Structure 1
Amino acid sequence: MLRAGGLEAALSPAIGGALLRLSLDGADLLRPTPAGATDPLAMASFPLVPYANRIAHGRYAVEGQRYQLPLNFGDHPHSIHGFGWQAPWAVSETTGAETRLIQDHNGDAGWPWPDRAEQHVALSPSELSLSLSLTNKGESAMPAGLGFHPYFVADADTRLQFDAQSLLLSTADMLPEREVAADALGDWSQPCGIAGDSLIDNAYGGWSGVATILRGDGIAITMRAAGAPWLHLYRPPGEAFFCLEPVSHSPDAINRGGMDMLPPGGTATLAMTLSIGKIEPALPKSAAIA
């Protein structure tokens, strides 16, 4: 458990280095993990490493060599979110308000490069800071992608605002189809209600690095990210949560020329900060995106 003022966070290094919960003065900011849950998808947030989102059918090629990743998401046809979220992390150091976690990958048939992922989690009385790094410990360049997958609590009056330049429309199995204007499915450049009865599962490109969540109970959360030019928005219909995932690349980027290659000994980083405050004065509500 980490504490700073009224802000509290609980982690589970053994379950994907995930956050179990984040609360301010007893109010949940992220969807809390049910008691006894062991599925990383039930956690409040988890890191995405060494890639984010989907790799089509788990197949990719580097330098002419083809690889097959496990299909790690039930009956979904693609590999998703890397493998850091489905493996244990080790605590390297911790204090009352911060901790560092490490995960080493020794290389395998699906991802042959040995690497080290490190996660730093820190609290102040009004802020959660998360940083994630990935170091290539191998002898050849490796694909590298990073991200975070927080589940934000949402009530009927919760509004979301962010600026982006483009939106990726998806195929039925959630791979990118084509890039369109950022407001093609609704305009998030002004605060807009997040509740709705349709599925949103899309990546936004050219994201400014800032997103604002304005809750009906008066809590405001500002997300700021560095090293994350893409923002993935996931809103399942009828649920009291949604996901805002700051990520370093678009879905299936490894097969579409959009994945960074990390040289031997090189390190990639991504950081996310959640700043918590109050809404003053109350902003006018706008229509929800259904």
Structure 2
Amino acid sequence: MPLEVENGGLRLRVAPEVGASVVDLSFERGGSLVPLLRRAHEPLSRSSDAACFLLVPYSNRLRDGRFRFEGRSYELGHPKPDAIHGDVRDRRWQVGHCCDHGCTLTFDSRAFGDVHFPFPFAAEVSYRLQDGVFTNALRVVNVGEARMPAGLGFHPYFNRALGPASEEVLLELAVRGVYPDSPERPALPIGPPVGLRPGQDFSKLRPLDVALDHCFAGWDGHAEIRWPESRVRVVMEASARLRHVIVYSPPAQPFFAVEPVSHANDGFNLFASGQPGTGVVVLAAGESLEGSFSLSVENSA
């Protein structure tokens, strides 16, 4: 049964049993609720169909489901060719504190016998609605004795149209570079960040009219999304740890994703190779990594 919170003209629904994923984030307009994020069918059975899910203890892909760390190789036993999107998104979280403006949930990998990640970890997520702003904060803690690599992020799916299906959506997002990949293994970096091609440059507000599945580096933590025909503007702000961002804009789909994340795709392996600026954090026993992002919804209709 999803948790539900309504506050400040926003409604949030969260599924604790499916990775504490967001089922719905909607804003009020004219007495109705308009889904800002892709609304999931309920009951939600897998996080890939959610409005937003959590990425922890790593973001996006790890090449061939393995990584090296401090001289050792680790196999994750993930069911796909590449391990993807962490190890919590389809697992049950425990509900903690809930009130009229938000809720908190927790996760402990030691409670599961089939976790792929080789280091024990715990996580906590909080959701908050206030004054037209949605805030999502995530923390991962090393609960083992050995050092571990760590990362985290968020995977919100935005609706491409809030009104007519033909509606145009605009994006502004400033970054310093993009990780190159190969056609055979898209979204897996083959080197350090390079300069942007014209279709990848959103430093000035422009239509999101190209197919993308890229990880960008050197993000300033700010993004703006506009639906001019619906007269809706959303401002995304991410905390200092989230300086990578993934833009996923599949062709002929009614959604797109702007994902604030702490590290590069395949970050653990890039880090092991000595590449600087990957965003990967090494946590000693008891140490934690935190990140958050917010969405401010401006509805002028």
Which residue of structure 1 aligns with residue 260 of structure 2?
246
Which residue of structure 2 aligns with residue 176 of structure 1?
189
Conserved in 2, the CA contact under 8 Å of 1:98 and 1:121?
Answer: yes
**Matched position secondary structure for 1:254:** helix
Within-5 A mapping of 1:1-80: 1-25=4-28, 26-73=33-80, 77-80=81-84
How far does residue 126 in structure 1 lie from its aligned partner after superposition?
A: 0.5
**Matched position secondary structure for 1:164:** coil
**Matched position secondary structure for 2:204:** coil
How far does residue 109 in structure 1 lie from its aligned partner after superposition?
A: 7.8
How far does residue 154 in structure 1 lie from its aligned partner after superposition?
A: 1.2
Conserved in 1, the CA contact under 8 Å of 2:224 and 2:235?
Answer: yes
Match of 1:264 among 277, 285, 293: 285
How far does residue 184 in structure 1 lie from its aligned partner after superposition?
A: 4.7
Conserved in 2, the CA contact under 8 Å of 1:67 and 1:109?
Answer: no
Conserved in 1, the CA contact under 8 Å of 2:109 and 2:115?
Answer: no
Conserved in 2, the CA contact under 8 Å of 1:120 and 1:130?
Answer: yes
Instruction: State the identity %.
Output: 31
Structure 1: distance between partners of 2:156 and 2:125: 15
> Does 2:174 correspond to 1:163?
yes
How far does residue 110 in structure 1 lie from its aligned partner after superposition?
A: 4.0
Letter in 2 for 1:210: H
**Matched position secondary structure for 2:248:** strand
Structure 2: distance between partners of 1:102 and 1:278: 33
Letter in 1 for 2:222: V
Which residue of structure 1 aligns with residue 230 of structure 2?
217
Q: Normalising by the residue count of structure 1, what TM-score does the alignment of the two structures yield?
A: 0.90
Which residue of structure 1 aligns with residue 217 of structure 2?
205
> Does 2:280 correspond to 1:255?
no
Structure 2: distance between partners of 1:87 and 1:109: 10
Letter in 1 for 2:133: E
**Matched position secondary structure for 2:180:** strand
Conserved in 2, the CA contact under 8 Å of 1:163 and 1:211?
Answer: yes
> Does 2:95 correspond to 1:91?
yes
**Matched position secondary structure for 1:120:** strand
The RMSD of aligned alpha carbons is: 1.7
Conserved in 2, the CA contact under 8 Å of 1:182 and 1:204?
Answer: no
Conserved in 1, the CA contact under 8 Å of 2:97 and 2:103?
Answer: yes
Letter in 2 for 1:211: A
Counterparts in 2 of 1:242 and 1:112: CA distance versus 1, 3 Å: same
Conserved in 1, the CA contact under 8 Å of 2:76 and 2:118?
Answer: no
Which residue of structure 1 aligns with residue 148 of structure 2?
142
Conserved in 1, the CA contact under 8 Å of 2:21 and 2:47?
Answer: yes
Counterparts in 2 of 1:138 and 1:183: CA distance versus 1, 3 Å: same
How far does residue 108 in structure 1 lie from its aligned partner after superposition?
A: 6.6
Structure 1: distance between partners of 2:115 and 2:254: 39
How far does residue 222 in structure 1 lie from its aligned partner after superposition?
A: 0.5
